[in-house]
Structure 1
Amino acid sequence: MIAKDLRINPLRTSLTALSMFIGIIALIAGVLVGTLGRDYLEAVNARLGGKSPTYSAIVDVPSSVNIQVVTALQERLAHFRPGIASAQYHLNDLAIWASSGDGNTEIRRVTIIIIDAERTRIMPAPIIEGTWLTGADEPATLETAVNESARQYVHDGTVALARTGNPQQVPARVNGVIADGTDTPTIYVNATTLQRYWPQAWEPDGLTILVHPNEGVDDQHAKTVLDDLLFDVGTGSISSWNRSDNADDYEQVIGFLQLGVTVTAILLLSVSAIGMINIGLAGIEQRSHELLIRRALGATRVSIAIQVIGSSVLLGLIIAFAAVLISAVLVWAIPWMMPADSPLEPPAYPYTAAMIAACASIVTSLVGSLAPAIKAIRLQPALALR
């Protein structure tokens, strides 16, 4: 009887289903948008300042550091147990040969960062084309990667590196193009290959090591382990240790975003419940004669209440299943719509939000059908005889 009750008035059932469907989809979408918004802020800031938390260790490194030391440091940092660590060397006189406006080539200063392959694990940058730098496992040639703005300096898969005031051009292979979140032309040079294949340019005047500790690891413990590592490989010691990510700039924004999503979800469910109550009360007005006849024939108030509430709950279950299924398909399709340079990872389906939405659908059905059920059981059977 409960199932048949849904077919008595198709229009009423359709309006109720539509109201519930919109409420559930809006709840899942609100949570997903909030999650994507938080992830986007975190990803954008991670590209520029590192994953939260990221610490910068400034190391005074002598220019006489040789390839054995660089390779040993790179290998040790690749297996840094307290977290992820990446070395960035400071070389101030590197530049590139690039075309000038009159068609000639000249030395041009652009941002050149001398790093290892671990950097993108701390400051993630989506690969737009090609690959990232290789590790310290004997790369075949001097290699680089460029961002989108520096793509203009790539010719035949290479860039021409130079030193300020020196006409010598050294070709360097470009492994790939990355989206690092900056508009400044930037070229990333593999530190190991630079020291091995162009030792004349290897005159570092400093070293910065970026450290992203594992969850639950104290930053002072990570600093101590790093200091011991530097001492073992003979690279000096830490002179400065500071947090360098931009978490303080966006954590408050994320808090407001999550609060706004929560309030919006509650309001959407409230609107859905109110819509169900209105539709349910209108349905009782239309079906009052039918319900009165049932009461006159001996139906109890409990059976009347079960019929009214049961039909709403059954409809809620059906709509919840349909909404969760459709939302899962939409979330599955999101990665196909994301651009290649998006800082976001493909989002995972918000199972928790879906479970909350399904439960909210049942609760909304109960709340929305409670008032109509009370009105139905208060109908007097004697009115059916009039």
Structure 2
Amino acid sequence: MITGFAASIVEAWQELRVHRVRVLMSLIGVGVAVCALTLVVGFGNMMQKGLADSYEQQGGRAATYTLSIYPSETEMSDSEAEKIRTALGATAERFGINHISAYGQTETTVPGPAGTVNASMYVVDPDFNVMRRLSVDHGRWFTSGDAANLSPAVVADETFLSDYGIDPDSLPATIELSGSPARTATVIGSVPSAGYMEYGEIYVLNGQETEFASDAEAVTEFEMWVPPEVGEELRKQVANDLRRQLPGFDVSADRTDFAADIDETLGPVKNVLLVISILILFMGMLGLLNISLVTIQQRIREIGIRRSFGATSRRIFFSVMMESVVATTIAGAVGVLIAVLVLKAPLVSEFMFDGASAPQVPITAVIVGMLVSIGVGALAGLIPAIVATRVRIIDAIRA
């Protein structure tokens, strides 16, 4: 069976070589259509991955819920902040929540060697970088042991390090803090700059924010990352458990990640491009079908002779069908190769991803392109193959 299949492919290739001028233009159309379809699928998946990474850095991974916890009638004090941290730890352990972090933001200043350095300060916990996909380019991120350091740990972005005059390769490095007596902090790692912020950014551990800004208020918002399929039910249970542990506190929980917005952002564009690609593919298939029908009419004598030597209808059908499939597979492979080269081009990374590292070309796009090219060949070869099976020996004699 395998030998017969291989022989059919070789035979189909020989026929294509004989009729290459007739099928060339139609195969160009098929190749262009497959290339366009692969580009649509590839661009869509790459943009979805890039957009998902961007959204997760801004709002957390799916599903991230923000817990707002603050006293109902009094100001937040250090003792109440400690109560919140204790309650959150107990709740996370009770419900098996592996990732939970404080999230507070304020503006601060740091005395630098060449003058005051302004910075946006984020108050977080060690889990924050996993929840927000923060990549540390130099040094390291926080660990649970950093809370006990005499010199508070800091993770800064590239803009802050540049403004302060610190070479990222020299980390860890010491910076001065405002206030009296003189204090220092240790920059243990650096992260990429957001690019759209006016000032640099620094990340400090929850509970140490007053070391960097004496007027900083205790964090009242916390983020938890949970599986999306149980997120809504878990949100209610966590909120109720915190209310039980913290009487006199207002507790609310809402989903704040942007995962649901990705399909809304890319969906219409992907659908329009996909429809255009399918139309191009359909036109290419019609062209190949017309060429195949004309070719079959000119091969009646050849097919009749084959029938006279004992070729069965099944053999004739499969042979003609394979000619079309082999042709579109070759054209599709060329189209897919061109699409992959385009997707991997440096211009794509610079234009589509703002110079950031582009996601890998999805294997899904390659598989879809090849399957579609094979399917088009099968559809385009179906009618000519049926016509070929109805050729009689007498038709060959008359031809």
Report the TM-score when normalising by structure 2: 0.71
Q: Is the 8 A contact 2:35 2:339 kept in 1?
A: no
Larger mean CA deviation between 325-334 and 258-267 belongs to 325-334
Q: Is the 8 A contact 1:74 1:136 kept in 2?
A: no
Larger mean CA deviation between 259-268 and 199-208 belongs to 199-208
1:68-102 residue CA offsets vs partner (Å, 9 max, x unmatched): 7798678668867246321024666x322247xxx
1:135-181 residue CA offsets vs partner (Å, 9 max, x unmatched): 21246542222234333223334544436xx7956343141122446
Amino acid at match of 1:311: E
Match of 1:29 in 2: 39
SS of the residue 1:313 aligns to: helix
CA separation in 1, counterparts of 2:213 and 2:396?
103
**2:93 maps to 1:81:** no
CA separation in 2, counterparts of 1:133 and 1:244?
24
CA separation in 2, counterparts of 1:185 and 1:48?
17
Instruction: Tell me how many residue pairs correspond in the alignment.
Output: 371
TM-fit CA distance, 1:368: 0.8
Change (3 A) 1:120 1:323: farther
TM-fit CA distance, 1:267: 2.8
Amino acid at match of 2:143: G
TM-fit CA distance, 1:274: 2.2
CA separation in 2, counterparts of 1:82 and 1:261?
41
Change (3 A) 1:9 1:213: closer
SS of the residue 2:144 aligns to: coil
CA separation in 2, counterparts of 1:217 and 1:44?
24
Amino acid at match of 1:151: L
CA separation in 1, counterparts of 2:344 and 2:266?
25
Match of 1:290 in 2: 302
Amino acid at match of 2:138: G
CA separation in 2, counterparts of 1:385 and 1:123?
76
Change (3 A) 1:377 1:341: closer
CA separation in 1, counterparts of 2:164 and 2:287?
61
| Mapping for residues 182-197 of structure 1, pairs under 5 Å | 182-191=196-205, 194=208
SS of the residue 2:11 aligns to: helix
Match of 1:10 in 2: 17
Amino acid at match of 1:55: Y
Match of 1:217 in 2: 230
Change (3 A) 1:290 1:327: same
Amino acid at match of 1:184: E
TM-fit CA distance, 1:285: 5.1
Change (3 A) 1:6 1:249: closer
Match of 2:138 in 1: 130
CA separation in 2, counterparts of 1:291 and 1:378?
10
SS of the residue 2:178 aligns to: strand
Match of 2:110 in 1: 96
CA separation in 2, counterparts of 1:314 and 1:325?
15
Alignment equivalent of 1:372, drawn from 362, 384, 398: 384
Match of 2:220 in 1: 207
| Mapping for residues 236-255 of structure 1, pairs under 5 Å | 237-246=249-258, 250-255=262-267
SS of the residue 1:267 aligns to: helix
CA separation in 2, counterparts of 1:77 and 1:179?
34
Q: Which runs of 5+ in 1 are unaligned?
A: none
Q: Which runs of 5+ in 2 are unaligned?
A: 1-6, 167-172
**2:282 maps to 1:266:** no
Amino acid at match of 1:308: V
CA separation in 2, counterparts of 1:114 and 1:53?
21
1:29-48 residue CA offsets vs partner (Å, 9 max, x unmatched): 32222112222233222222
CA separation in 2, counterparts of 1:202 and 1:82?
32
